[in-house]
Amino acid sequence: MATVFRPRTLVLFVGDILFFVAALFVTLFLRTGELPTEEIFMLHLRPFAILFAVWVVVFFIAGLYESRSIILARRALSSTLLVAQTFNVVIAAVFFYLPLFAIAPKTILFIYLFVSFLLILFWRAVLFPRLGIQKPEPALVVGGRAEVLELAEALAHAPMAPARIAEIIKPGSSPLKARVEEALHKHQARFIIADFGDKEVSSAFPEMYNFMSRGVRFFDALTLYEEVFGRIPLSILNDQWFARNMSRSAHVLYDSVKRLMDITIALPAALLSLVFYPFIILAIKLNDGGPAIISMPRVGEGGHVFNFYKFRSMSGNDKGIYGQDGNSKLHVTRVGKFLRISRLDEIPQLWNLLRGDLSCVGPRPEVPTLVRLYEKEIPYYGVRHLIKPGLSGWAQLYHDNHPHHGSDVGATREKLSYDLYYLKHRSLTLDLVIILKTIKKLLTRSGV
């Protein structure tokens, strides 16, 4: 259903640009108390046009053009827009300090922040849903597995979705084709979202493709699930799936370029971070006199165990190994609390990055004892070790139920579905998106 989303993304993009321009016009009017002349407006529009291009990138990083942002509930729209536009105004303030333009619109930037926020919010929350392109088409869901029902539930409660779930048809005793045909006629459905991984559903569908002559479009439910939720349904995993999607030969060039990118980022960052070492080490020493840098075993690429470095934030070094109840006999120190909040405790991991233990992007490394447990409890868990672990990753951005200390098989199983999504879709473009979104999360203190 990706082709259904693309027109919406394009319309959002064009609308955002138009409302950026409209906000500039309104801001100039509010600043001067009169309609801006063409000369004044163009004088401001030329430099702002450069900023508009940058601001669209900020919107992209904020997730405002993603399929899941468009079709899922928009509860966080206003807060996300406000954060994005605040960043945009800060970028503009820095931009206008450059002596390249005949204007230095310091005052109007503050006015523009509120005007643009209100206009973009009005555009996205009020106007966009009322456009003809946004009118949802009736759709049938054919299947009964948990992931299919979860997808149907999400689409049913998403006002921005391109499809309106008219009926869910589960496999049963009566012929599937007859029930689908009856529902098509009853609801005048345009889409059929089918679970082709269900044997009963897939065996019945060769008889149903004549519905395409009526303008009905078919979509694979689990492919759509993957696109909407950003994770792989674990129910579809089998040897054939891994043979199709986990080929390493297809990523040889990517792996080489990614390693070069890791070094390019890590080397200057590691050297610059040396400035912080004396202050952090002194603070830790003054706090309790213990060692400043500790190492903890972690499982890396190919199951290789490596030493994972951090500034010590606890009263000792328990090697990062916690009991089954998730508790440790150690406690976070006063300095350690600050280091964790600021993420400064992770600075030594830049040397892991340089050594090749880690990559900038990948699944987060786990302790060996938990890896052994999860490999017994979770099928295909070891597949995440086909690539290097990362400082940040797809799961860190989108998995809300992170397992914290100790074993949590349920949360880790769900986390694996995000890791597998990254393994399947990994590319330099996706890595760049993850890096930029990680920076955004760190700056907004929403955690990674």
Whole-number Å distance between alpha carbons of 78 and 425: 30
If you count DSSP H runs as helices and E runs as strands, how many of each does the chain have, helices first? 19, 8
Lowest mean pLDDT among 11-25, 317-331, 337-351, 393-407: 317-331
Domain ranges of the chain: 2-132, 136-229, 249-443
Structure confidence by residue, pLDDT tens digits, 420-441: 999 999 999 899 888 878 877 7
Among residues 340, 341, 448, the alpha carbon closest in space to that of 399 is found at 448
CA angle (289 as vertex; 284, 293 as ends), nearest 5: 50
Mean pLDDT, residues 182-191: 90
137 vs 67, residue with greater confidence = 137
In this predicted structure, what is the pLDDT of residue 100?
Answer: 58
pLDDT one-digit tens code per residue, 265-274: 999 999 999 9
- Average pLDDT value for residue range 281-285: 93
- Topology, domain 136-229: Rossmann fold (3.40.50)
Q: 141 near 169, Cβ under 8 Å?
A: yes
Range with lowest mean pLDDT among 139-153, 207-221, 309-323, 391-405: 309-323
Kindly report the average pLDDT of the chain as a whole number: 84
Dist CA 260 CA 136 (whole Å): 45
Q: Which of 188, 51, 31 is nearest to 112 (CA)?
A: 31
What H or E segment, with its residue span, contains residue 359? strand 359-361
Check residues 274 and 174 and name the one with the higher pLDDT: 274
- Tell me the percentage of the chain whose pLDDT exceeds 90: 38
Does this model's pTM top 0.75?
A: yes
Tell me: pLDDT of 160 over 70: no
Cα 15 to Cα 151: distance, rounded to the nearest angstrom? 28
Judged on CB neighbours under 10 Å (0-12, 13-18, 19+), 178 is exposed
> Is 172 a residue whose pLDDT tops 90?
no
pLDDT digits (tens, 9 = 90+) for 189-245: 889 999 988 888 888 888 888 888 888 889 999 888 988 888 998 888 888 888 888
| Alpha-carbon gap, residue 212 to 194, rounded angstroms | 14
Q: Are 8 and 133 in contact (CB under 8 A)?
A: yes
Query: How far apart are alpha carbons 150 and 11 in whole angstroms?
Result: 28
Residue 176 pLDDT exceeds 70 = yes
Of the chain, the percentage scoring pLDDT greater than 70 comes to: 85
- DSSP annotation of 98: S
The answer to whether 292 and 273 have CB atoms below 8 angstroms apart is no
- Cα–Cα distance measured from residue 197 to residue 236, given in angstroms and rounded to the nearest whole number: 7
pLDDT for the residue 44: 84
pLDDT single digits (tens) 27-65: 999 988 889 898 889 888 888 888 898 888 888 877 787
Whole-angstrom Cα distance, residue 78 to residue 123?
A: 12
